[in-house]
Amino acid sequence: MMHYALVSDLMTREEFEERVEEKSAALGGVVDEVTAAMLVVEDLGRSHVKIGDIPKSEAGIVSFFGKIISIEGPREFKREGEEPGILATLILGDPTGTTKTTLWDDQAAAVVELSEGSVIEVIGRPRFGRKEVSFVAMRESAVEIVETKKPPTSEELKAPFVVKILHLHPVRDIVKKNGDISHLQEILVGDESGTTRLVTWSPETFSDVDEGTSVSITGVVRKEDDGIVEYVAQDTAVITPHPTPISVLTIDAGDVEEGQMPVVTGTVSSVSEVRTFTTRRNTESRVRNIKIKGEDGDILSVALWREEADKVILEGDRVEIINAVAKPSRFSGIELSVGSGSVIRVVSGEEVPAEISGRIVLRTFGLTLENAEGVYVLQGDNLPEPGFSVTVTGMLCGVRMKVEEGWTNPEDASKILELLR
């Protein structure tokens, strides 16, 4: 009675079997043992889930119906110092998504009795954040699933991957289960169709590549999962400069439409405080909401997550956002979500000479000079102390002021003049 696995933390097997018998009797014996067991599980709050909800599930074990999209195996593999094992993999789907489940030994051998297109009921342990379930039990089902989402695809490009390098993320060290360390780098690239993410496990391949250059790359694999496309540069990848500059789809904040992934440009009109929260994995994360204004005055909502939320983004900054999907907002209009696989950065505009007076204030993001006209962030080595009213000269770009050496304090100057008199 495989459904017991769903409630094994709530009662003993004997208690479960007794409840199943009671449920069957209460229904006049018109349901079979499997149906009665499913009803008992549902009574205990452990009902079936949709495949699309599995990666977000907080339950230690789940049950779901899935249509078999593909079967890989069974095949034999070697275990060090042990008898050979048997392995098989199923890709299952329903209208909400797809998932992979791996079967071992006797369970794997049994997949020869299954066929693509049939529907099975699966009990398994979800691997949090991944579209994968560790198999516990399964059975064939009469449930009908007509349509399923497309399963993940992976194919090596036959033609060179011709793109412009937009942003190089720092190399990250990834520790494997066996303790080995691999090196991962994410690179944001684009062309006239939009932007995407390129991943490499051989960052040294890109060590001589600069942001803003147009390149041609061979040895690239295209992956698609649930409508999201990304590319992987294999260890054999070769990069060469492209003879002509590649143009990248760039859209003003006021013209963004759902589903697009262009470079989005605009001017920051409001910035909220960073909020911290606890994730389902019991780790702390951060989010900040900002709004950016297009040239026509239309406002676009943007959510910044984790490291992107920590960046110094100020009202009046000219920004560009790379590889963020435009989705419907919970409230109205379109919203961009900037987190893993995307980036926001301040665009350096034209610098003009300026002289500004005001009071120096120390804020979380640095020293500012503030007056009735606005707030200006000061940059440089020789900056005044907080609390003083000063006049600074330097080069102004938006709301950021590069202070030249030397600044004057009108209050101190007036005091000196009084003493001299």
Give the span between the Cα atoms of 75 and 94, in whole angstroms: 26
Please choose, from the candidates 236, 87, 214, 124, the residue with its C-alpha nearest in 3D space to the C-alpha of residue 161.
214
Torsion angle (degrees, nearest 10) of CA 356, 362, 365, 371: -30
Give the span between the Cα atoms of 382 and 364, in whole angstroms: 19
When computed from its CA atoms, the radius of gyration of the chain, rounded to whole angstroms, is: 29
Q: pLDDT digit of tens for each residue in the chain (421 aa)?
A: 677 777 777 778 888 888 888 878 877 776 678 777 777 777 777 778 888 888 766 667 788 889 999 999 888 888 777 788 898 999 998 888 888 888 888 888 888 888 999 998 888 888 766 778 887 778 888 778 878 877 778 899 999 999 999 999 999 998 877 788 899 999 999 999 999 999 999 999 999 999 999 999 999 999 988 778 899 999 999 999 999 999 999 999 989 888 888 999 999 999 998 899 887 667 888 999 999 999 998 899 999 999 999 888 888 889 999 999 888 887 777 899 998 889 999 887 788 898 889 999 998 778 899 999 888 888 888 888 888 888 888 888 888 888 886 566 655 545 444 544 4
Give the span between the Cα atoms of 285 and 279, in whole angstroms: 7
**CB-CB contact of 213 with 201 (8 Å):** no
Q: Which long-range contacts (CB under 8 A, 24 or more apart) does 166-172 make?
A: 166/190, 166/195, 166/211, 166/212, 166/248, 166/263, 166/322, 166/323, 167/211, 167/322, 167/343, 167/345, 168/206, 168/209, 168/211, 169/343, 171/203
The CATH architecture to which 2-140 belongs is Beta Barrel (2.40)
pLDDT digit string (tens) for 324-371?
A: 988 888 777 789 999 888 999 988 778 889 888 999 999 877 889 999
Give the global pTM. Answer: 0.67
**CB-CB contact of 344 with 167 (8 Å):** no
Same fold, 164-241 and 250-346: yes
Instruction: For the domain covering 250-346, report its CATH number.
Output: 2.40.50.140
* Locus of tokens 């000269």: 393
Please choose, from the candidates 90, 97, 137, the residue with its C-alpha nearest in 3D space to the C-alpha of residue 118.
90
Q: Name the phi and psi angles at 414, rounded to 5.
A: -65, -35
**CB-CB contact of 383 with 358 (8 Å):** no
**CB-CB contact of 138 with 117 (8 Å):** no
Q: Does domain 164-241 have CATH number 2.40.50.140?
A: yes
Q: Name the phi and psi angles at 197, rounded to 5.
A: -105, 135
Domains of the chain, by residue range, sit at 2-140, 164-241, 250-346, 352-413
Contacts of 305 (CB under 8 A, 6+ apart): 285, 286, 287, 337, 338, 339, 340
- Give Cα 247 to chain centroid, integer Å: 26
* Locus of tokens 């938006």: 398
Give the span between the Cα atoms of 417 and 412, in whole angstroms: 9
Beta bridge partners of 134: 102, 125
pLDDT digit string (tens) for 366-396?
A: 889 999 988 888 888 888 888 888 888 888 8
Per-residue burial over 257-267, b = 16 or more CB atoms within 10 Å of its CB, e = otherwise: eeebbbbbbbb
Q: What is the token pair recorded at 165?
A: 């390098």
